[in-house]
Amino acid sequence: MQNFDDIVSIVKHRFKNQNSIYLHEPCFIGNEKKYLNSCIDSSYVSSIGEFVSSLEKEISSYTGSNYGIAMVNGTSALSIALKAVGVKETDEVITQALTFVATANAIVYNGANPIFVDVDIDTMGLSPTALENFLIDNAIVRENHCYNKISGNKISACLPMHTFGFPARIEEIVSICKKWFIPIVEDAAEALGSYKNNKHMGAFGDVGVFSFNGNKIITSGGGGAIITNDKTKATWIKHVTTTAKKSHPFNYYHDELGYNYRMPNLNAALLSAQLEKLDEFLINKRETALYYKNAFNAIGIKLKWETAGSRANFWLNCLEMENKKYRDQFLNFSNAKGIMTRPIWNLMFDLPMYKDCIMDSQKNARFLADRIVNIPSGINPDFLNL
């Protein structure tokens, strides 16, 4: 148990002035109350208001994209993003089994079926090697569309996810999908502030998606966003997520099936204040990650790190344990000591609704699922310039 005590001591030392050490809690130190009061005073608290409009411009600017659309949450953003690239009923979407359940759920919301392809050990994100091998063995291109040779269904999208904010090998994934005529929806829900070769995550795909849930680096309580460089897609997404209502002074005419998915102005006000602090939060989190790296290296514990050419936001820091038994022992030990730690998610094909989905060997995903533990990674106010 000596190593367990050492790990807990390292975490407690970094967050020594906090009574409870959570995995990742929100930090409100800026203009949150000011902007919320302004929003309330304006009476525009729903999906129309100046904070929604300004936030969309700020998100697109920050990520280097032409267009941003604020959404009510990341899951609805994923669902609409898939629809925007053409995913339809009975289609298939390639993704990873090592992900939060919303990734797979968003596929099924469109009546499509997930295909689970393995991840890389180092990035924990979709493996371009596994992706290409799967396509070579199972897919065929006809008239600039990709089809599953076995099921006959169209493979209408690829949905890679940047696990815990660590960039996947997205450039290779994009190159492969381009050869196979497969659009990319980039699940960057956890990767705001993460980069690959100085390009922001979410900006590589046809469409990118972010989450601003309460446990993310910045939050709107609930909330999400879609980014894209495609004006047609952006215009359609904005229209369809506000119930597809045609603009008119008083008539209610909706020209297609729409969704009530736009972020309320109240949430946008909160997020606007949070976004002003994002760069400061990212510096703070990198300092924590570097502290962890040095401390854990000294005692022979492996901490997951960013790969060459990438810059992670270190949303959640990850320890790689020796095996599942050791992982479970540490989870019980650390939580009993008041240190919130969590395992990686259950792999999607281990959930009842996804047990029959197409998948490859999943060797790496199983390896990681048995060993990864997330440790407290929140913004530490003791190291902020307050």
Question: How confident is the model over 309-320, as pLDDT tens digits?
Answer: 999 999 999 999
| pLDDT bucket at 17, cuts 50 / 70 / 90 | confident
Residue whose token pair is 């689970």: 116
Mean pLDDT across 333-356: 97
* Dist CA 71 CA 91 (whole Å): 25
Mean pLDDT across 301-327: 97
* Dist CA 186 CA 83 (whole Å): 13
Question: For residue 123, with 0-12 CB atoms within 10 Å meaning exposed, 13-18 middle and 19 or more buried, which class applies?
Answer: buried
Whether the CB-CB separation of 222 and 215 falls below 8 Å is answered with no
| pLDDT bucket at 2, cuts 50 / 70 / 90 | low
* Dist CA 257 CA 255 (whole Å): 7
Please compute Rg for the chain using Cα positions.
21
Decide if pLDDT at 46 tops 60: yes
| CA-based nearest residue to 166, from 294, 59, 311 | 311
* Dist CA 259 CA 102 (whole Å): 18
| pLDDT bucket at 1, cuts 50 / 70 / 90 | low
Decide if pLDDT at 386 tops 80: no
Write down the pTM of the prediction: 0.96
* Dist CA 339 CA 168 (whole Å): 28
Decide if pLDDT at 3 tops 90: no
Decide if pLDDT at 118 tops 70: yes
Mean pLDDT across 131-158: 98
Average pLDDT along the chain: 96
Give the chain's domains with CATH numbers. Answer: 2-26+278-383 (3.90.1150.10), 32-276 (3.40.640.10)
Predicted confidence (pLDDT) per residue in 272-284, tens digit = 999 999 999 999 9
